[in-house]
Chains A and B, each alone.
Chain A
Amino acid sequence: MKIIFKIWRQDSPAEEGMLKTYEVDDLTEDMSILEALDHLNELLVLRDEKVIAFEYDCREGICGQCGIFINGRAHGPHDQITTCQLHLRSFNDGDTVVIEPWRAASFPVLKDLIVDRSAFDRIIESGAYISSKTGSAPEANAILIAKEVSDTAMDAAACIGCGACVATCKNSSAALFTSAKINHLNSLPQGESEAHKRVIEMTSQMEAEGFGSCTFTGACEVECPESISIVNIAEMNARIIKAKIFG
């Protein structure tokens, strides 16, 4: 199988980048897109050219490292998967595949397809923790939590911080990510004592990082590999109001 890749090449944050074309033969449709990039990099090494920098870790859809923009969609043409879960069978022999890094002022390009997502880390540091004693494991039934509550918290906790929501959003809003992190902790009794502080600190940090504001286009929940619902953002807004009144 043959694919014509058009891939964003950029040496450093300061330099201008551009799309470069690579025709790659001898691919099979069972390869993941990351494996195809590995294959291309091997060819580049043999040709004594610089390899393409891209991120990954688990290659099984759980770490959130592999985010890239493929053929006009975050993580490629399918809804709700990661890049490493995308295979060449989603394309046809001879197709052109355009690969770009996430685009957002708050995610500057470091090199080729790698962007700096530390803005997410700083949002987490600003409030996505609980300050309770972590010694040995507590008795499992010491705090009883209703099934629906734990389901809500676990659904939100599924966010892997891939950044697809920011990448796909026309406003580069980080509202889906931030709301998932807030609702995860704020819906559980363990997170309650810092609930108001958390929502204000984390949303303020989100703004300070330069992400845009949410206008509910809904693109994020379609591209999110963890199917985090946009309703989380509405819930975050309700929590901001509560924090302003009672916090």
Chain B
Amino acid sequence: MGLDLSTRQYDKVPYEEKERLFEEVKADMRYQDHALYGCYECGICVAACPSARFYDFSPRVIAQAAAREDVDLMYILMNDSIWDCSQCFSCDRCPRHNSPGMLITIMREVAVRNGLGTAKEALEGYGRIIYKIMSTGTQVSPDMLQPNAFPDWGGHVHDIAENLDVWRRALPPETLHTTETGWEVSDKTIIELYLIWHMTGVMDMIEEIDEGLYDILVDVMEERLEEAGYDDVSF
């Protein structure tokens, strides 16, 4: 289905709310400094963009909407377009030195921080990945290679899943014998990572987007932090 750029679908959302979100995008330190200097409408970013080839998606439209300060259009794009981006940064070849990809990163962060329903939808099914990276320090693990998770990758995923333990033990680097994490990560390092999530407000973002995931993460982290003597860390 094509991208609907008419304001009809979001006309019940107060203009002030849309403006507030756009102001939050503009307040990001990267916005003026690196993401957007204006736009020639040349379309070079679109020509380089993989997502533009497969979706009704255009980094030019996003750069234009931001440059023109079109509050309504920015709201539509923040809901219905930004999650199509591949974050490849091919658009960084922009002759105006914009980074539409970075502008999209900022818009996504604002969408997540404000718990937009469309952001929740876009991240449906993605929670297990967030859980993995935040709780273990490595994003993908060997035991994720299960045939039901990757049916389109064929029988070889089945072979890996069946031989996982012994094939991991056959790896010469001793850090790689793990199955639940990409490599062996020390306890102290995990604690340091938890402290970073806590101190930088990432836990609040998770709470906004997925309360169930937040509760599980808090459980896991609190126990480990308490064991490590960080009793006073309250979530």
Q: Tell me if chain B binds chain A.
A: no
Interface residues of B (CB under 8 A from A): none
Interface residues of A (CB under 8 A from B): none
